[in-house]
Amino acid sequence: MNNILVLFTGELERMKKYHVLGASLVVSLIWIGVLYFTEISDVSNIFPLLLYIDATSMSMLMIGVTMFFEKQEGTIKTLLVSPISKAEYIVAKALANIVSNIVTLFVLYLYAWFFKEIDINLIGIFLAIVIVAFFHSLIGFMLTYYSKDFTDLLMGMMKYAFVMMVPVILETFGLISNNFIQKLLYAVPTKASMLLLQASAGGIEAWEIYLSIAYLVIGSTLLYVIVSRKFDEFAAKESGV
Amino acid sequence: MFKVQDLQFKYPKNKENTIKGISFEIKEGEIFGLLGPSGVGKSTTQKVLIKLLDQYSGEVTYKEQNLKSYGKDFYQEVGVGFEMPVHFSKLTAEENLTFFKKLYKSNADTDELLMRVGLYEDRNKQVSEFSKGMKGRLNFVRALLNNPKMLFLDEPTNGLDPKNARIIKDMIKEFKGNGGTVLLTTHLMNDVDELCDRVAFMVDGKISEIDTPKNLKLKHGQKQVEIEYLENTGNNETKKAFFDLEELGMNEQFLELIRTKEIVTIHSKETNLDDIFIKVTGVEKNE
């Protein structure tokens, strides 16, 4: 069997056994709760916002959690001396992560479809989640490389959330009106992520969509190269034969 | 199998080299012991040989080909047995092995291996329920699941009771008997004595001794025989006498003593690997 497929299915199995998928579903239920308690019946505009939080923060967290389990249990050592490449390891982990985000998408979409009104481009938001989740999975790798322990990882995520995610949410809610800051936000990957997800509900300029796709695709490529290079250092540190 | 020529390695944050120009060869079909106190570079040497570190100088060849030229397929014929547990604790032993088996082209009969190490009945238990010894035995099975030609073993009998340690040692001998090559790292000198064809002692990033256990014992031992006997006096006092092994049968003093005295014990003064370890590595001074 192809190594990526083996690693990917193994990753999903472990996410289930270690209750990581269960935790992800609980988060989905929280988002359903948010949709339930919102008074607006058409949730098309709030829907991308919930998926934005999920595809960014949950992606980073899931990578961190699974890698810390591997470090803690020493399984990373035995994976490093298996006939797999670092590319296969990184891609399989990111793909499993994306699956979790896609599950959240469909759980939320089904709820909105049956109990609320929703009008979004499902294929568009599906592709947006793939791109956003992949980019943030790679961020998750970087944070894990530089975190001594799980608390350190959470601190890194908090910093990312405050600097990158919160300003974009505030702008989306109209709480940031300063023109310079609004323009400055185009420089952060979370703005590109938000625009791409919002595009599925309409109202986003074409140039903003193209810019966001280009940003995240080029960003992912560059980030992948860095993650891949840094993996050797990480491997040497974790191997401890 | 492996040839190491003037290997040197420095960790980026260190000021001096961890490995300071070592050369040795691991011959095909032998069990080679890499010994020494903690922190002398054994693990780093192993990491180089299993391709986890590649920023080294010197030359390392595997099957007469530069080690750096091998890709991930190198691991198809290599098995690594770690000292510490390396399994997913929430998966069963069977699930762990099944996952790893799928990554290899060649698979051993893991049911048979589990039976040999006494884990077959527990194969459907989560690894988190395993004792330390059971995890160690599962590590050993993991190392063998791809029918490797080269096996790296780090303290394979650590934490095992004598019965299970015997099983593992027998399996290592069988592996060798079937043409396999082993690099063994252990602090248990009895295991080294029983298993290793040759051993290398490492001290401060260098190899200070490399030879067969027998030759090392001859080199570092005393060629003497120690006799403990009873003096025929009223209080039956025990006395000791030492004689050179050379031409012992012609030594009149020795012959007179064994003819006329009551012998309590008689021992040749060859040394053991524990003593050689202490002597060669200076471990008592350093640790």
Where does the pLDDT of residue B287 fall: very low under 50, low under 70, confident under 90, or very high at 90 and above? Answer: very low
Q: β-pairing, B31-35 with B181-185?
A: parallel
* Residue B159, pLDDT above cutoff 90: no
Hey, of A81, A233, A234, A237, which one would you mutate to test binding to chain B, going by the most B CBs within 10 A of its CB?
Answer: A81
Asked if B99 is an interface residue toward chain A (Cβ–Cβ < 8 A), one would say yes
At residue A1, the pLDDT reads 56
**What are the structure tokens assigned to B287, written together?**
């640790």
Q: Chain B: nearest CA to A78, how far in angstroms?
A: 6
CA distance A162 to chain B (A): 32
**How does the average pLDDT of chain B come out, rounded?**
91
Residue of B nearest to A82 (CA): B75
CA dist A155 and A147 (Å) reads 9
- Contacts of A164-173 with C-beta under 8 Å, sequence gap 24+, read A164/A188, A164/A189, A164/A190, A165/A53, A165/A56, A165/A57, A165/A190, A168/A52, A168/A193, A168/A194, A169/A49, A169/A52, A169/A194, A172/A49, A172/A198
Task: Tell me which chain B residues have a C-beta less than 8 angstroms from the C-beta of A84.
Answer: 72, 103
B119 belongs to a structural domain:
yes
Residues B211 and B232 both lie in one domain:
no
Helix (H), strand (E) at residue A79: helix A75-80
Q: Are B31 and B197 in contact (CB under 8 A)?
A: yes
With an 8 Å Cβ cutoff, is B82 touching chain A?
yes
- Asked whether residue B282 is assigned to any structural domain, the reply reads no
Bridge partner residues of B126 (DSSP): B92
Q: Are A74 and B89 a contacting pair at CB < 8 A?
A: no
Best of B49, B50, B72 to mutate (most A CBs within 10 Å, chain A): B72
Residue B85 maps to which CATH number? 3.40.50.300
Q: Is A82 on the interface with B (CB under 8 A)?
A: yes
Domain assignment present for B287: no
* Chain A residues closer than 8 Å to B46 by CB: 241
- Residue B36 lies in domain: 2-217
Dump pLDDT digits (tens) for A108-144: 999 999 999 999 999 999 999 999 999 999 999 999 9
**Of the partner residues B47, B50, B88, the one whose CB lies closest to the CB of residue A75:** B88
| Shared-domain flag, residues B245 and B213 | no
What is the three-class DSSP state of A42?
Answer: strand
Q: In degrees, to the nearest 5, what angle opens at C-alpha A201 toward C-alphas A200 and A203?
A: 105
Residue B283, pLDDT above cutoff 80? no
Distances in Å between the Cα of B114 and the Cα atoms of B37, B151, B156 are 32, 18, 15
- B26 closest CA partner among B50, B3, B52, B60: B3
B104 close contact with A: CB closer than 8 A:
yes
Buried b (16+ CB within 10 A) or exposed e, B182-206: bbbbbebbebbbebbbbbbbbbbbb
Give me chain A's average pLDDT, please. 92
pLDDT of residue B162: 93
Lowest mean pLDDT among B19-23, B95-99, B270-274: B270-274
Inform me whether the pLDDT recorded for A89 exceeds 80: yes
Confidence of residue B139 (pLDDT cuts 50, 70, 90): very high
State yes or no: pLDDT of B285 exceeds 70.
no
Q: Give pLDDT, residue B284.
A: 56
Residue A84: pLDDT above 80? yes
Q: Among B154, B184, B217, where does a domain finish?
A: B217
Least-confidence region, from A78-82, A236-240, B282-286: B282-286
Contact at CB, A14 and B78, closer than 8 angstroms: no
User: At A86, is the pLDDT very low, low, confident or very high (cuts 50, 70, 90)?
Assistant: very high
Task: Indicate whether B284 belongs to any domain.
Answer: no
Q: What angle do CA A30, A33, A39 make, to 5 degrees?
A: 145
Q: Do B82 and A77 touch (CB under 8 A)?
A: yes
In a domain, residue B140? The reply is yes
Three-state SS at A148: coil
Distance CA A10, CA B156 (A): 27
Is the per-residue pLDDT at B144 higher than 70? yes
The letter for the amino acid at B42 is K
Sequence-distant (≥ 6) Cβ neighbours of residue B105 within 8 angstroms: B76, B146
Query: B88 and A17: CB-CB below 8 Å?
Result: yes
**Residues B256 and B128 grouped into a single domain:** no
Considering the domain architecture, whether residues B153 and B18 belong to the same structural domain is answered as yes
Phi and psi of B229, rounded to 5°? -140, 165
| Residues of chain A found within 8 Å of residue B128, distances taken between Cβ atoms | none
Contact B154 A80 (CB under 8 A): no
CA gap A163, B166 in Å, rounded: 59
Q: Chain B interface, mutation test: which of A8, A78, A86, A229, most B Cβ atoms within 10 Å?
A: A78
Give domain limits for chain A: 3-239
In this prediction, residue B55 has a pLDDT band, given cuts at 50, 70 and 90, of: confident
| Tokens 């296969």 sit on residue | A88
Contact B76 A83 (CB under 8 A): yes
Domain count, chain B: 2
Lowest-pLDDT range, A12-21, A27-36, B252-261, B266-275? B266-275
* Residue B95 forms contact with A (CB below 8 Å): yes
Answer whether A22 touches B (CB < 8 Å): no
Task: Mark which residues 139-178 of B lie under 8 Å from A by CB.
Answer: 142, 152, 154
Instruction: Name the residue among A193, A42, A50 with its Cα closest to residue A119.
Output: A42
Report the pLDDT averaged over residues B173-192: 93
Least CA distance to B128: which residue of chain A?
A73
User: d(Cα A193, Cα A210) in Å, to the nearest integer?
Assistant: 12
Could you tell me if B208 and B228 lie in one domain?
no
Q: Angle A59-73/A3-17 helices, nearest 10 degrees?
A: 90
From the list B53, B72, B85, the residue facing A236 with the nearest CB is B53
Q: Cα dist. A41→A110, A121, A197 in Å?
A: 15, 18, 20
Closest by Cβ to A83, choosing from B50, B72, B82: B72
Q: Mind telling me how many Å the CA of B72 is from chain A's nearest CA?
A: 5
Instruction: Please give the residue of chain B at the shortest CA–CA distance from A69.
Output: B88
The pLDDT of A63-76, averaged and rounded, is: 91
Note whether A175 and A191 are within 8 A (CB): no
Q: Is residue A151 pLDDT above 60, yes or no?
A: yes
Tell me whether residues A81 and B78 touch, CB distance under 8 A.
yes
For residue B211, tell me if it sits in a domain. Answer: yes
List CB contacts (< 8 A) between B53 and chain A: 236
B116 & B234 share domain: no
Angstrom distance (rounded) from CA B277 to CA B187:
9
Give the tens place of pLDDT for each residue, A158-173. 999 999 999 999 999 8
Measured CA to CA, the distance from residue B26 to residue B202 in angstroms comes to 15
**Domain-located, residue B109:** yes
Same domain (yes/no): B47, B180:
yes
List the one residue out of A182, A25, A202 whose CA is nearest residue A118.
A202
* ipTM for the whole complex: 0.88
Q: B247: which 2 tokens?
A: 């031409």
Look at B52 and A73 and tell me if their CB atoms are within 8 Å: no
Structure tokens at B279: 């002597």
Residue B5 has pLDDT above 50, yes or no: yes
Same domain, B35 and B150: yes
Evaluate whether residue B277 is within a structural domain.
no
- Do residue B258 and residue B188 come from a single domain? no
Tell me, yes or no, if A237 comes closer than 8 A to chain B by beta carbon.
no
- Helix (H) and strand (E) counts for chain A? 12, 0
Q: pLDDT, tens digit, for every residue of A196-219?
A: 999 999 889 999 999 999 999 999
Q: Check pLDDT > 60 for residue A220.
A: yes
Binary contact (A82, B75; C-beta < 8 A)? yes
| Cβ-defined contact of B103 to A18 (cutoff 8 Å) | no
Q: Which of B45, B54, B74, B89 to mutate to test the interface with A (most CBs of A within 10 A)?
A: B89
Note the pLDDT tens digit of each residue in B185-239.
Answer: 988 888 999 999 999 999 999 999 999 998 888 888 778 899 999 887 667 788 8
Same domain, B66 and B195: yes
The DSSP result for chain B, as a single string, is -EEEEEEEE--TT-SS-SEEEEEEEE-TT-EEEEE-STTSSHHHHHHHHTTS----EEEEEETTEEGGG--GGGGGGEEEE-SS--S-TTSBHHHHHHHHHTT-SS---HHHHHHHTT-GGGTTSBGGGS-HHHHHHHHHHHHHTT--SEEEEESTTTT--HHHHHHHHHHHHHHHHTT-EEEEE-S-HHHHHHH-SEEEEEETTEEEEEE-HHHHHHHHS--EEEEEEE-SSTT--EEEEEEESTTGGG-HHHHHHHHHSEEEEEEE----HHHHHHHHH-HHHH-
In chain B, % of residues over pLDDT 90: 70
